[in-house]
A and B are shown apart, each in its own frame.
Chain A
Amino acid sequence: MSGKPSSTPAWLASPRARELAYLVGLAAAGALLPLVVYPTLAMKILYFGLFACAYNLLFGYLGLLAFGHAAFFGLASYVCAHLVTVVGLTPELGILAGTAAAAALGAVIGWLAIKRTGLYFAMITLALAQVVYFYLVQAPWSMGEDGIQTGPRGKLFGVISLADNTSMYVVTLVIFLAGFAIVNRAVNSPFGEVLTAIRDNEPRAVSLGYDTRRFKLLAFTLSAAISGLAGATKAIVLQLANLGDVHFSMSGEVLLAVLIGGIGTALGPIVGAAVLMTMFDALAKTGAWVQAIQGALFVGFVLLLRSGVVGTLSGLFARKTR
């Protein structure tokens, strides 16, 4: 898991300034994105990028390989779609409810999973996510194989119609930037410093007096909540929550996005999400090839490019300017 780039211009030296620069840059890039790709794909890149950032908080900064994040993304998607469709909540309330549900689930699964580390941790999160998957397969309110079709996107705050893609895109971009800001703030705060300390040497963090279990649980819950924010947004954007959202391959995809972009880098997950979503879109018609190519990407990045695209580039940049 790569460290921070060692050389940055002086004005970017403070974390606060860098966070702000990232936000401004991402807002600008987000404004230009619909000029390059069609709106639905642009929105997919944003919500999946947010999902990957949330996952990176756990995997990149705390060093915990979770393999069940589809549960948080998917549960939030279902809760949001259900409340919007059946109860008639406005989109923003649906998204908030979905996020809250994912946070609650994250607190429970996290409480269990952080009892172990390493591969055990991965398997526990995977197994518990399967419980959520099979629950949603069988629960009467989740509509089984069909999933929940929400119908029209509704009106934000009951006022702004999200039916047209431009307003929907702006809302998605705002959610994405807010989520990214939260993750980035967490990572660059004293809290984030403790997380990386736990990642690098947990016994030492314990000996310094930190209650590492509390930090891990908090990070896990936060990661689950932001994953839920992404999943609930997905339900509004695509007007659909289905079993694909909770399937374990979704947990694999978010992991792959982070691996492609760069584990433990601020922008890597977004780059990885953009690569992956664009690839899925381009290969949508080829069916089974997508799975084989995804597998090849896993193998290739693990063996040849472990710091990911962003990690490798910033490494090169740092060497050049030294």
Chain B
Amino acid sequence: MFTIEILGKTYNSAAVFGQLLIGLINGSFYAMLSLGVAVIFGMLRIANFAHGAQYMLGAFVAWALLNLPELFPGSGLPSIGYWPSLILAPVIVGVVGMATERIFIRRVYDLDHAYGFLLTIGLAMMVEGLLHVRFGSAGLPYGTPKEFQGTFNLGFMFLPYYRAWVIVASIIICFGTWLLIERTRLGAYLRAATENPELVQAFGIDVPRMLMLTYALGVALAGLAGVMAAPIYQVSPQMGQNLIIIVFAVVVIGGMGSILGSIVSGFLLGLIEGLTKVVYPPGSTTVIFVFMALILLARPQGLMGRT
């Protein structure tokens, strides 16, 4: 083992790399979540504060699928494990998102932005409150899938297989979504619909339906992140509450509506947070917000935002 010097102080390299790795894992979740917020904001101009609740919903659906026999005794329903949940839960959460857009979100498109924000705050509180009533606030356990039980020995720390998988999967998900929106025909329609909805509609494209599907896509991404989080963090109604505030800060840093910006700043801020845990532990809870303030002073449109 060797030592590393940061700002004139020396640190054990194992501690530094360990925290950076944890930062990378947290950053994977920041990136996946801020990506969804950026997609929704970019296309719908809605600041989706319900994103944290939708992430929590993904984890809850995965937990419920696993515990179907206990939740509905006598119904003969099977227990559905991690791998099917990875597809099923985001689909279920996405469908809920579609209904949410139809029933609620659609009504505030033409109003001041403030109302979309307030509406999604209300929706998040309702969902979190109701699940709290039903399941309590204590975390529900969700086991690591058996394929991922075990650890890599990296020399400076043990990395559980599952966490390595989270890092890899989130990079694939982020890159895939970026490709979908920036490099495909569907994505081109979406971007065009944001620029000039009337014109796109005139070309015979159903813009309201596209907005609904975009919202569903963003929400499904949150649900997917929730399933991936279930084995790492405890499944509880509040699990998305503090996270959503960090995610909003990440989106502001990346440049609101910039998809690549949200991905890059998600991973970057996870790493910065990890590094802060080594250098100045009490600052680790606030470093992202302070960083956001600094970015706004130097570059108000965000790292990759356009004005």
Given contacts A130-B286, A248-B245, A303-B107, contact A124 B292 (CB under 8 A): yes
Contact with B along A219-250 (1 / 0, CB 8 A): 00000000000000000000000000000100
Chain A residues near B132 (CB, 8 Å)? 287-288, 291-292
Chain B residues near A293 (CB, 8 Å)? 129
Chain B residues near A67 (CB, 8 Å)? 117
Contact in complex: B292, A127 (CB < 8 Å):
yes
Scan residues 115-171 of chain B and give those whose CB is less than 8 A from a CB of chain A. Answer: 115, 117-119, 121-130, 132-133, 137
Contact in complex: B122, A120 (CB < 8 Å):
no
Contact in complex: A123, B249 (CB < 8 Å):
yes
Interchain CB contact (< 8 A) of A291 among B112, B128, B251: B128
B127, B137, B282, B293: residue with the most chain A Cβ atoms closer than 10 Å:
B293
Contact in complex: B289, A298 (CB < 8 Å):
no
A299 to B300, CA, bound (A): 31
A128 to B285, CA, bound (A): 12
A120 to B133, CA, bound (A): 33
Interface residues on B, range: 35 or more
Chain A residues near B256 (CB, 8 Å)? 119-120
Contact with A along B264-307 (1 / 0, CB 8 A): 00000000000000000010011011101100110010000000
Interface check B114, CB cutoff 8 A: yes
Chain B residues near A122 (CB, 8 Å)? 47, 114, 117
How far is the CB of A286 from the nearest CB of chain B, in Å? 9
Which of A35-43, A132-140, A158-166, A269-277 sits within the interface?
A: A132-140
Interchain CB contact (< 8 A) of A295 among B108, B122, B297: B122
Chain A residues near B290 (CB, 8 Å)? 131
A287 to B132, CA, bound (A): 9
Interface check A289, CB cutoff 8 A: yes
Interface check B113, CB cutoff 8 A: yes
B126, B137, B256, B300: residue with the most chain A Cβ atoms closer than 10 Å:
B126
Contact in complex: B125, A124 (CB < 8 Å):
no
Given contacts A289-B129, A293-B129, A295-B126, contact A138 B282 (CB under 8 A): yes
Chain A residues near B119 (CB, 8 Å)? 298-299, 302-303
Interface check A104, CB cutoff 8 A: no
Contact in complex: B133, A288 (CB < 8 Å):
yes
Interface check B252, CB cutoff 8 A: yes
Contact in complex: B122, A124 (CB < 8 Å):
no
Interface check B104, CB cutoff 8 A: yes
Residue of A nearest to B53 (CB): A295
Contact in complex: A255, B118 (CB < 8 Å):
yes
Interchain CB contact (< 8 A) of A297 among B112, B122, B124: B122
Scan residues 246-261 of chain A and give those whose CB is less than 8 A from a CB of chain B. Answer: 248, 252, 255, 259
Chain A residues near B124 (CB, 8 Å)? 295
A294 to B133, CA, bound (A): 14
Given contacts A112-B296, A294-B129, contact A123 B248 (CB under 8 A): yes
Chain A residues near B123 (CB, 8 Å)? 295, 298-299
Chain A residues near B286 (CB, 8 Å)? 130-131, 134-135
Contact in complex: A116, B125 (CB < 8 Å):
no
Given contacts A123-B252, A134-B286, A292-B130, contact A298 B245 (CB under 8 A): no
B residues bordering A, Cβ < 8 Å? 41, 47, 104, 107-108, 111-115, 117-119, 121-130, 132-133, 137, 245, 248-249, 251-252, 256, 282, 285-286, 288-290, 292-293, 296-297, 300
> Can you name 13 A-B residue pairings with CB atoms under 8 Å?
A115-B297, A116-B300, A119-B256, A126-B248, A127-B289, A134-B285, A134-B286, A255-B118, A288-B133, A295-B125, A298-B125, A302-B115, A306-B111
Known: A122-B47, A127-B292, A289-B129. 6 other contacts (CB 8 A): A67-B117, A123-B47, A127-B245, A259-B118, A292-B129, A296-B126
5 nearest A-B pairs in the assembled complex, by CB-CB distance: A298-B122, A292-B129, A295-B125, A291-B129, A295-B126
